[in-house]
Structure 1
Amino acid sequence: MAQKDNHPRSNKGFISTWISRIMTMIVWLLLALLMSIIIEWVGMNTTWRDEGINHSRNMVKTELSYLNKDFQKSLLVQRPVEYAEDIAAKMHNAMYVKTGIMGAITKIFQDTGAGKVTKTIAEHVLAAIYVTQVFAIRLAILTLALPAFFIFAVVGSVEGLVQRDIRKWSVGREHASLYHHAKRWIPICFIAPWVVYLAFPVSIHPNAVILPFALLFGIGIFMVTYLFKKYI
């Protein structure tokens, strides 16, 4: 009887853990989007005041040009540009078209009698819409970059296992503290590019963010496999 009672609990714990992780990821993505919008609004009134709404509009074009130039092929999808544009269109439709926000903004810009304050608010909302499109494009690029993390992980683990065997047969020393430090840095190196790249306030080539973190991720995998116990 005890075994029958424990089995459903273990399954429930596994499922609830993964649901919790997925919800946490969604919350972090929403926070990154909110941070991007706030940074854009602050920049519109300070750093790139002269550009105004053109700053976010140009970011959309630049991000798509990066994708069109350097991500023409992918292991996950056949047409990366269309994949990113589809994600951006779906997010735009769900957040701004179906809610009526886009229609209201369009009416304000078409209304010649709208006040200055009203148009200023409309410009900030439109900037948020462009930032959301940039966010969606970058989200698509990050998903397309997942094989890079996998490749670095495979190379790091293979090299680490080789070095572990060498350490094992040459009576090398254990480094438990270094192993635990490396183990903690692995999820950070994987999550950090999602937060940094998605919330970055200006256009930046994705390779400048993804490749360094993918390399650090691979090094972390290497360190963990290399420093793992000599004897199991």
Structure 2
Amino acid sequence: MLTFLGILVAVWIVDWTIVFKVWPDGIDRLRSILAADLARGRALAAWQGGVPGVVTETANSLYAIVFRFTGIHDMGMRFAEGAAHSIPDTIVRNTYLANIEGIEVAMIGTQLLGVRIATLALLAPILVLIYIVAGADGLTQRAIRRASGGRESASLYHRAKHLQVALMATGLLICLFWPGSVDVRWIGLPLAATLAILTRLQWAYYKKHL
């Protein structure tokens, strides 16, 4: 939970920095990125034979957890009505309105994070399948090499294993934190190919006897 909260806050910080300091069109560009990534995610879900709505539902659910359950969404709706408020409410309203653009960026960024999490989840079965196939091929090569009197290599095994973790973490961070529009297929396909090579290498040089 704390890890996820850390990721969410880090995403907000990246979005705030890019929107207010880098992009001339600011929040409008972030909205267009959300729309583009959502369209790609829904298309990927449909291509896999799934339900495109799962991407939208994930984004909306994450938004609801962060902003609806905490009352921030309802607070904004109430303040937008312009009705008379008590003095404490007026202070809160003025503070809210003074930071409304930052709050809106956080809201859009949260939905964008939900879209990307759902899209990455769609790639998970493919990556698992590749890992299983490559691992089986690597173990087969190990058995052949052992039968021929070849050596295992603990060094290659551990290097391949650690590189897989680093590769997956890097790909995940790029997908979640990249401030521009992300087509996960352009990240997922090279990631899958490299994962297959490293997985095969890992299990082909597995040192211990199974």
- TM-score by structure 1 length? 0.76
SS at match of 2:99: helix
Letter in 2 for 1:215: A
On the 8 A contact 1:33/1:199 being kept in 2, the answer is no
Residue 182 of structure 1 pairs with residue 153 of structure 2 = no
SS at match of 1:72: helix
1:117 offset after TM fit, Å? 8.3
User: 2:60: which partner in 1?
Assistant: 89
The aligned length equals 201
SS at match of 1:221: helix
Task: Map 1:39-58 to 2 at 5 A.
Answer: 39-48=14-23, 50-58=24-32
Task: Map 1:212-231 to 2 at 5 A.
Answer: 212-229=190-207
User: 1:34: which partner in 2?
Assistant: 9
On the 8 A contact 1:135/1:198 being kept in 2, the answer is yes
Q: Given the superposition, is the C-alpha separation of residues 109 and 54 from structure 1 closer, same or farther in structure 2, using an over 3 Å criterion?
A: farther
* Structure 1: gaps spanning 5 or more residues: 1-25
1:44 offset after TM fit, Å? 1.8
1:161-190 superposed Cα distances (whole Å, 9 cap, x missing partner): 222123112222332211111122233333
1:221 offset after TM fit, Å? 1.7
Letter in 2 for 1:124: G
User: What is the rounded CA distance, in whole Å, between the counterparts of 1:41 and 1:122 in structure 2?
Assistant: 12
Letter in 1 for 2:22: T
Please give the root-mean-square deviation of Cα atoms over the aligned residues, in Å.
2.6
- TM-score by structure 2 length? 0.83
* Structure 2: gaps spanning 5 or more residues: 83-89
Give the stretch that moved more between structures: 87-96 or 133-142. Answer: 87-96
1:108 offset after TM fit, Å? 5.3
